[in-house]
A and B are shown apart, each in its own frame.
Chain A
Amino acid sequence: MQQAQTLYEKLWSSHVVREEADGTALIYIDRHLVHEVTSPQAFEGLKLAGRTPWRTGSIVATADHNTPTDHWDEGIKDPVSRQQVETLDANIRAVGALAYFPFKDERQGIVHVIGPENGATLPGMTVVCGDSHTSTHGAFGCLAHGIGTSEVEHVLATQCLLQKRSKTLLISVDGTLAPGVSAKDVALAIIGHIGTAGGTGYAIEFGGSAIRGLSMEGRMTLCNMAIEAGARAGMVAVDEVTINYLKGRPYAPDGAAWDQAVAYWRTLHSDPGARFDKGVNIDAATIRPQVTWGTSPEMVTDLDGAVPDPAAVSDPVKREGMSRALAYMGLAAGTPIKRIAVDRVFIGSCTNSRIEDLRVAAEVARGRHKADSVKQVLVVPGSGLVKRQAEAEGLDKVFVAAGFEWREPGCSMCLAMNADRLEPGERCASTSNRNFEGRQGAGGRTHLVSPALAAAAAIAGHFADVGELN
C-alpha cells in the first residue's frame, strides 16, 4: 500500500521532471501568470540569449500594478508606468499567450483575481508568477508561489523551475468562527501567532473545519497571506466548494474532460495519517477581528485590544523593532485600537477585492456615510468582472451614496505604484496585505484589516465594531 501523502507531496511528486542526488529537482510548471513589473527584464534576457518561450499556452498575462484606477479615457499619464505597460503589451503580442487581458480590457484586473475567476487556475497545477502573492492560487489545491524575475525567464525558457522540496506545515483551524470574523482575521491571527518568519522553508496547508467552511474567496484571502507568514506557498485541499466554484468558468474544462478532471481533483487532499513536519492548531472561536498596529503583519492585535508596550518585551532586537514601528506609526503604547483615527481607507488588493469582499463592505456602508474626518475611501474591485458583478448587484451605488469612491480595477493603493497613495503621515485602514514602512506611499501608515472593519473605520472615522456603528 502506498504511504499516506500530504497534499503538498502529491503536488510536488506529480511535477518532478528529474531529481538530482542532492534533492534539487526540476519541477514542471503548468501555469505562468505574467504582469508588467517583473517580466520586462525576463523577456529581454530571453531575447538577448536568442531563446524562445517553451509553451506560451501556459501564460496568462495582465497589466495591474501600474494601471490607474480612474480616468481610463486619459490612458496612463505617468510615462515610466506607461512604458512598462506598453512593454508588456509588446512582449505578449510578440510571443503569444493562452489569455491576455491588457489595460482597459473588460477582464483586466489583478493577476491573482483574474486567474481563478477565469478558471485559468485549476486544482493540481503548479502556478507561478513574478509576484509573492501567487500563494493565493493554492486555495484551489495548487502548488502556487511567487518567483523572481530570473525565474520568470527560466520558466519562459524551460517551462520548469529548479527547486528543493519544502518542509510541510499543517495549520488547522477548527471550530466555528464568530460572526463578523472573516478569512482576513484568520490570516492575521495566524501570522500574529507564528510570526512573519514562522512559515519560512515550509509549504503551508490550511485545514480544519473552519477552513473547510470558508468560501473560495475566503480561502484565497487566507492563502494570499501565506507569504506574510514566511511561506512561499499556502494551500487548501480540493472539496465540493472548489469544484462548484470552477464549473463553467471560461478556461475550466467541460464535458468529458470536466468529469475526468474532477475525478482527479477529488484526490487532491492530504491522506489520513499523512505526516507533516510541523503542525499548529488554532481554535476558530478564539479569533477576534484583527487590526495591525505596526510595520510588519505580525504586529497585530484584536480590535478590542490596545497598542502593546515595547518595554514589556525582553528581546532587545524585537523591542527596538517595536519602538521603531510605534515611532513610524505615530502611536503611543497602550492606546486602545478603537481610539485610532484614520485619514483614508482602501478596500481592494489581491487579498480582499473579490465580490464577496465588496458585498461585506457594502453591507456595512449601506445607508451610512463616511465620517467627515476621513479624506478618502477608495473601493477598487479586483477585476473588470468583479466590477461588473458588483454593479449588477448595485453595490457601486451603495458605496457612492456613502461617500466612497468606486474605481477601476488594479493593484492600486496596496503598493501605490500608480497615483493612488498615502501622503506622508497619513493613516489608512487597508484591506491589503502589507503594512511595511512606505508601502502605501512614502511616510504613509497602514493598518491591515478585513473589508468589514475597513468600511466600519470609514464610517466611524476610527477603528470600530460593525455592531457599534450608528
Chain B
Amino acid sequence: MRAFTQLDGLVAPLDRANVDTDAIIPKQFLKSIQRSGFGPNLFDEWRYLDQGAPGKDNAGRPLNPDFVLNQPRYAGAQILLTRDNFGCGSSREHAPWALDDYGFRALVGSSFADIFFNNCFKNGVLPICLPAEVIDRLFAACLATEGYRLSIDLAAQQVCEPDGTAHAFEVDPFRKECLLNGWDDIGLTLRHADEIRAFEAARKAAHPYYFR
C-alpha cells in the first residue's frame, strides 16, 4: 500500500450530506475486474450530462458545468471536503479506488460511513473527521478563496488552514501506523498465523458443526 505521511493539497468542496457510494461510482463500472481506472467515472452521474458506460470514451462526454469538480479552480484537487455520512450505502471498495484514481489523497468531513471509512485506510486514502462547525468554516473559506489549500500531517494528527490555524484529528493508532509505513494488513496478520491456527483448532474442537 502507498504510504501517507504529509500532504499539502488543493481542496474541492462537495457540499452535500449522505453522499452514497452509488453516487461516488455507479454500478455499471463495478463490472470491471481491475482495481484501477475508475477515476474518469468518479461521481459519473453528477459529473457528466450523458450516461456513462464501461468502455465508453470519457474524453468526449459533455460535462455538467454545475458540478463542483468540473470547475477549473478545483482541477488537480487532492483533498475533498465533505459533509455528514459520506460514503454511506454499498460496501464497494470501488468508491475509494475511484477517489484515489481521480487524485484524492485525503477526505476531510464531519462524519463517514463505517465500511467506506475502513476501505479508505486499505488504499492509502486518509479520511479525517473534524467537528461540524470546523467543517462549516472550511466550506466557507474554500468557497471564498480560489486556490484554497489545506496541509495535513498524519504523524502530528493535524490539519492546518492556510493562516496556520491547526485542527487536531483522531486516528486509530494501528491504522495510523499502517498508513505512515504503507504496511500491508495481510502481511501483518500472517505474522500471527500460529495463533490463528491454534484458535481455529480450539474452535473446531468446541464447535465442530461450523467446520463441515
Contact = CB atoms under 8 A, between A and B. Distances in A.
Given A30-B210, A132-B115, 9 more contacts: A17-B195, A38-B92, A54-B196, A84-B32, A84-B33, A124-B210, A158-B186, A158-B190, A320-B16
Given A30-B210, A442-B45, A44 B33 contact: yes
Contacts of A296: 18, 20
Given A28-B203, A147-B115, A157-B190, A436 B196 contact: no
Interface string B32-70: 111100000000010000010011000000000000000
Nearest to A260: B209
A232 B114 contact: yes
B185 A83 contact: no
A89 B18 CA distance: 35
B174 A162 contact: yes
A150 B123 contact: yes
Contacts of A439: 22, 27
Interface string A267-300: 0000000000000000000000000000010000
Given A24-B172, A200-B111, A40 B33 contact: yes
Nearest to B53: A80
B111 A151 contact: no
A74 interface: no
How big is the B interface, by class?
Answer: 35 or more
Given A28-B199, A296-B18, A197 B186 contact: no
A175 B180 CA distance: 52
B115 A232 contact: yes
Nearest to A166: B114
A316 B153 CA distance: 31
Contacts of A253: 209, 212
A57 interface: yes
6 contacts: A26-B192, A37-B31, A153-B186, A158-B189, A257-B208, A434-B20
Given A122-B209, A196-B85, A324 B16 contact: yes
Given A159-B200, A434-B22, A417 B45 contact: no
Contacts, number: 188
A41 B196 contact: no
Contacts of A55: 200
Contacts of B84: 197, 317
Nearest to A152: B93
A38 B34 CA distance: 10
Given A251-B212, A321-B18, A66 B31 contact: yes
A296 B23 CA distance: 12
Contact of A132 (B33, B91, B123, B174): B91
Contacts of A147: 91, 115
B190 A57 contact: no
B54 A80 contact: yes
Contacts of B174: 20, 22, 24, 162
A41 B17 CA distance: 30
Contact of B186 (A22, A49, A65, A164): A49
Contacts of A130: 91, 93
A86 B31 CA distance: 12
Given A28-B196, A148-B115, A230 B88 contact: yes
Most buried by B among A150, A162, A201, A439: A150
B207 interface: yes
B17 A154 contact: no
B89 A434 contact: yes
A148 B30 contact: no
